[in-house]
Amino acid sequence: MHVIKKLVSDTAIYGLSSIVGRVLNYLLVPLYTSILLPAEYGMLTELYAYAAFGNTLYIFGLETAYFRFASQEKNATSFNVATSALLLISLCFSGLLIVFSKPLIGWMGYVGCERYLYYLAAILALDTLLVIPFAQLRLQKRALFFAVAKLFQIGLNIVLNSLFLYVLKDISLFRSQPELAPISSVEYILLANLLANAAVLPLFSQAFAKFKFQLPWQTIKHMFVYAFPLLLMGLAGTANEMLSRVFLKYLLPLGFYPGYSNTAILGIFGACYKLSVFMSLAIQALRYAAEPFFFSHSQDKNSPQIYSQVMQGYILVACFILFAITANLDWLSYLFLRNPVYRTGIEIVPYLLLAYLWLGVYYNLSIWFKLINKTYYGAIITGIGALITVAANILLVPYLGYWGSVWATVASYTSMSVLCYYQGQKYYPIPYRVGRGLVAIFMTVALVPLVRNMSYTSWPSNILTNLGFTFVFGLLLAKLLFNNLAYYRQR
């Protein structure tokens, strides 16, 4: 049981940094929704959706490949090779993005905004350069350093956003050429992101001081063979998450939402999507701790039982998050979505949380093909999920609006989980408690329409009642969680 306690400890630190970081970062949402028009927020949502694809392409699956190879050696070769490869990839891709910025930005419909892509090219390059140093901290179990560095990056981004949008919004810092347009709010946001990323580099000065540019053919070949399916899987996974935000603007019939442009609807959808962040941060925290944990305990004879216990614990925690956000959605949305126009789409939030719950299930299940070096199965499964996302968006969005994107996301992640489970049991059987997990999920989802359709006479009664429901539901799941731990102790 000590290994589970270690995982919980590391997850708590990663989770705390993720929770605090996301909460801090989420302070930008009320800032953005109070300053940006929905169309501007829609533009920002679209840019960052494309940046997510770029981030996956730049990293090229080498983060997980680094874990795999570094865990098998005691020298710095893997760090040097992985960092060298990512440095070369980022220079190539960022150069192409800058060269083709004019046609790309014109295709997106934002003619004259090429500078936005210059910022994204630099942001993506810096993000990529930091990937392996952060991964090294996770491998070395330096969770505290990891958390501090992440929080510093996020905190500085918030400070710079506040400074630029509130203090310097009307001051043109870079108008050295009179033909340049004044700096927009969107450009200030991108600039703040870029500067925050750059400020993190000195924290890893010791790691970079020992870095040597190395690309030995045999090592890089094996890394890329391992990583390439992960790249495909990552691109498909990014498609699952981001294509709804990319497609929505183009698939919506004009005038589907009277009085709103398609870009404005994308802004509303993107702002409401942010409320699902609480589920995604739980997944992120578990992934940070669990990925190196799963690899390091892969030879343990009790590893299947350990993996099953981790899954059951995740499902119970995820169900609590889904219920808690759903029950308290009214006051949470009022707190974070300051402009009432953004709150018109909040009913999609519980079902986006459900989609992310299934994504977390998939991430837990996916350990089997990473452990047995069959990562191409991940690419196949995630690719199928991406095809479902594309097809469902094309079929549903023209008739259901942004609800079509929501149901496409739910269908994709659920299908991926089912496929991964059945395929995994053939190659790496794990005694998951499937029935109990499904019952917990279905019972939680069944409560969604009940808590969302309750009427209250006042805001205080709304808040207090739903906080009470959340507390009772949390106690019930805590009891189930302790029963789960007791079950595995007896095995």
In tens digits, the chain (491 residues) has pLDDT values of 455 555 556 555 665 666 666 666 677 888 888 888 888 888 898 999 899 899 999 998 888 888 777 766 655 688 888 899 999 999 999 999 999 999 998 888 888 888 999 999 999 999 999 999 988 887 877 878 888 888 898 889 989 998 888 777 655 544 444 444 556 888 899 999 999 999 999 999 988 888 888 888 878 888 888 888 778 777 877 887 788 888 888 899 988 999 898 889 999 998 888 888 778 777 776 666 666 666 666 666 677 787 888 888 889 989 999 999 999 998 888 888 888 888 888 999 999 999 999 999 998 898 888 778 787 888 788 889 989 999 999 999 999 999 999 999 999 999 999 999 999 998 888 888 889 899 999 999 999 999 998 887 788 888 888 889 889 998 988 888 777 665 555 55
One-letter amino acid for residue 309 of the chain? Q
- List of residues 6+ apart from 274 with CB closer than 8 A: 26, 29, 336
Question: Cα–Cα distances in Å, from 364 out to 130, 147, 232, 312?
Answer: 25, 22, 19, 10
Q: How far apart are CA 461 and CA 455, in angstroms?
A: 10
- List of residues 6+ apart from 307 with CB closer than 8 A: 294, 364, 367, 430
Spell out where 169-273 has E strands. none
Q: What is the largest CA-CA distance in the chain?
A: 75
Q: Of 34, 23, 39, which is closest to residue 269 (Cα–Cα)? A: 39
